Structure 1
Amino acid sequence: MTTVGMVTGAGRGMGLACAERLTDTVDTLLLVDRDEATVTAAAKDLSARGRRAVVEPFVLDITDVAGLARLAVRVGEIGTLRAVAHAAGISPTMADWRRIFTVDLVGTARLAEALRPLATAGTAMVCFASMAPLLGGTAPDPAVDTVLDDPLNERFLERINDALGPAVEDTGVAYSWAKRGVHRFVQREAVRIGPLGARICSVSPGLIDTPQGRQESDSHPGMQVLLEQTPLGREGRPEDVAAAVAFLLSAEAGFLTGIDLLVDGGVCAAVRGRPLG
């Protein structure tokens, strides 16, 4: 049996770090990214390291339904789907609110839908969320959550606009709600695929030193305040998040599904709680 792994957003940052961790855990590893030059270079570099996996680039925009179908076909041609690290996503400075919801939430749901027929005993998936909705601003609202829970509805963007009102045009607000949607999606998907013996979790990175993270920090001075409040006193590294993802995808996490793992150096605890003593 040939085992297949997949990392989306694999060209750089946390996606690439996840790919590096998975090269010794599967027989074939698909690196998925919309940037052909970047993902091809990443695949070539990882292949040259002499690890277990055959590394193959796959150029894809995660919102492309036809492309996702081709991706699923390719996985089926190779073997059995074992591990998926879905790191592809965009942050508030990268697009408008519509694109943020489309990539970060709708794209996640579309990927899971495309891969669901391939899920079997031992398949595990980790979706990247964020600490953003855990820091406030997305208090539970049944009306909004009802919309978030139906991201593949053809009127999704119209409905979320109606539910959130003008605030949705703030890309930071949109990002937080989109990532809340990812948290909720993972919980529901765990129930869908659990009877197959498959698992799904999410991971919520904090302040991580990546090109995308630096772009956000440069645009939002408040990020420095969060860094100063981080109990471990530093930004995270892509490798910190990749280690958590690798654990969630491993057999050692075989009884974990439908949960979110916060990888933030303690900043959410510091912001939401008070020091003792």
Structure 2
Amino acid sequence: MSTVGIVTGAGRGMGLECARRLADDVDRLLLVDLDEATVLAAAAELSGAGHRAIVEPFALDVTDPGALARLAARAGESGSLRAVAHAAGISPTMADWRRILHVDLVGTALLAEALRPLAADGTAMVCFASMAALLGAGEPNAAADEALDDPLDAGFPDRLRDALGPAVEEPGVAYSWAKRGVQRFVRREAMRLGPLGARVCSVSPGIVATPQGLQEAANHPSMKALVDGSALGREGRPEELAAVVAFLLSDGASFLTGVDVLVDGGVLAALAGRS
């Protein structure tokens, strides 16, 4: 049976690099992005590069259940779902706090819900979280975590605000908590997928030289200090993140599930060393 891969946020940056890696690992690769022009360009580029996979673009919003149902139907009719790299997301300079929570956490849960019926022995999924979850989510808060753990509840954003107060309306704070929610989500999803022989992990990038990352750095000068003080003293490259994702999706990681992998060039190591 043909194998199928899905990459979201595939139009550019880390998503596109993940797509490049997966294009030789599956028979059909479905590229997903909200921006139709970029996902069409990405599909054309990969299709012309001699990769193994037949590449198919999908322009859709990962928070749209109907669109995700169509994506799942297409994947199901194309073969067995082998790999999913969920890189789609928005950062603090791109939207308000509610939209950030909706795209970055609710969208992750909706995608997983849509694809769960396709999971089988050997299926693997990687969801993008962020180093920000470990830096900016603040002190442990049981009520906030309880809200994060039910992102498909209609009142989720308001429940999180009740737990955290108005501080969560700052986009950077919302982003940190949304990504904490992704890290927590994969633990629960691992328990749902495990009996099927399927796996799910999250990856938490540090500061990476992508268009989105550069936009954030331009608006937050403090990010340069984190890079300069990190163990490696540089930004990450998109292909470095894609290599980690490719491993997590591979058979070489067959006993790895329900965990977050921090890929930050040693930012947190440096910060811990100063405390």
TM-score range, shorter chain: over 0.9
> Which residue does the alignment assign to 1:183?
183
TM-score (norm 2): 0.98
Could you give the per-residue CA deviations for residues 44-72 of structure 1, whole angstroms, max 9, x where no partner exists?
11000111100000111100110001011
- In 2, Cα distance between the equivalents of 1:177 and 1:273? 24
Maintained 8 Å contact 2:186/2:202: yes
- The root-mean-square deviation of aligned C-alpha atoms, in Å, is 0.9
1:162 shift after superposition: 1.1
Give the letter for the 1:15 counterpart.
G
1:136 shift after superposition: 4.4
> Which residue does the alignment assign to 2:146?
146
Give the letter for the 2:260 counterpart.
D
- In 2, Cα distance between the equivalents of 1:204 and 1:114? 23
Matched, 1:47 2:47: yes
> Which residue does the alignment assign to 1:192?
192
1:161 shift after superposition: 1.5
Give the letter for the 1:111 counterpart.
L
> Which residue does the alignment assign to 2:266?
266
Q: What stretches of structure 2 of length at least 5 have no aligned partner?
A: none
SS at match of 1:93: helix
> Which residue does the alignment assign to 1:131?
131
TM-score (norm 1): 0.98
> Which residue does the alignment assign to 1:104?
104
> Which residue does the alignment assign to 2:116?
116
Maintained 8 Å contact 2:97/2:168: yes
SS at match of 1:177: helix
Maintained 8 Å contact 1:135/1:272: no
Matched, 1:224 2:224: yes
Task: Report the count of equivalent residues.
Answer: 275
Maintained 8 Å contact 2:135/2:176: no
| Stretches of 4+ aligned residues off by more than 6 angstroms | none
Percent identity of the aligned residues?
71
Maintained 8 Å contact 1:135/1:271: no
1:138 shift after superposition: 2.8
- In 1, Cα distance between the equivalents of 2:72 and 2:40? 19
Maintained 8 Å contact 2:137/2:180: no
SS at match of 1:273: helix
Following superposition of structure 1 onto structure 2, how do residues 1-277 of structure 1 map, counting pairs within 5 Å?
1-274=1-274
- In 2, Cα distance between the equivalents of 1:78 and 1:136? 41
Give the letter for the 2:229 counterpart.
Q
Could you give the per-residue CA deviations for residues 100-140 of structure 1, whole angstroms, max 9, x where no partner exists?
00000000000000000000000000000000121244322
